Amino acid sequence: MSTKHMPNMDKMGGDDVETIVGPSVRVEGDFVSQGNIVIEGQVSGSIKTEKNLRVEQGAKIAANVTADSALIAGEVKGNIKAMNTLELTPSARVDGDVEVKTLIIAAGAALNGRCIMGGDAGLNGAKTRVKSGSYEDNNLISKES
């Protein structure tokens, strides 16, 4: 999983991760942390951390998310607010609005929702409606055909 654009995510080794939700774990409710979080299982409700969030491939989230930076490789159904960077890997699927300073979307990732971007996420940022699709010869080809 690439973290080259997210220097804070590179630091999320075993010692820097405060909470790991394992693949067989299901959490319901408000999840609040001041440290780095890695989710491999299922979370529903809300997730808020002052640091970084990493959602692994196979993880399923039905929650609104707030983090400093987030790396998504699994599924998120809910809105995401990242104060700095949101990176979607090729296996990522996000169904919800995103509010970010910097957005990185890999080929193959799906983002279905509104995107608000800017220097200060949520403050006078550019608003763009995003529909999942792929680019071919500079024309967007929608998957809703």
Mean pLDDT of the chain: 82
pLDDT of the residue at 17: 86
Question: At residue 97, does pLDDT exceed 70?
Answer: yes
Which residue(s) pair with 88 in the sheet?
72, 105
> How far is the C-alpha of 16 from the C-alpha of 145, rounded, in Å?
44
Give the number of other Cβ atoms within 10 Å of residue 102's Cβ: 16
> How far is the C-alpha of 131 from the C-alpha of 133, rounded, in Å?
6
Give the number of other Cβ atoms within 10 Å of residue 77's Cβ: 16
pLDDT tens for 28-73 read: 999 999 999 999 999 999 999 999 999 999 999 999 999 999 999 9
Locate the domains of the chain by residue range.
17-132
- Per-residue pLDDT band for 134 (boundaries 50, 70, 90) equals very low
pLDDT of the residue at 4: 46
> How far is the C-alpha of 65 from the C-alpha of 39, rounded, in Å?
12
What DSSP assignment string belongs to 94-126? EES-EEEEEEEE-TT-EEEEEEEESSSTTSS-E
- Where b means 16+ CB within 10 Å and e means fewer, 32-66 reads eeeebbbbbbbbbeebbbebbbbbbeebbbebbbb
Helix (H) or strand (E) holding 32: strand 26-33
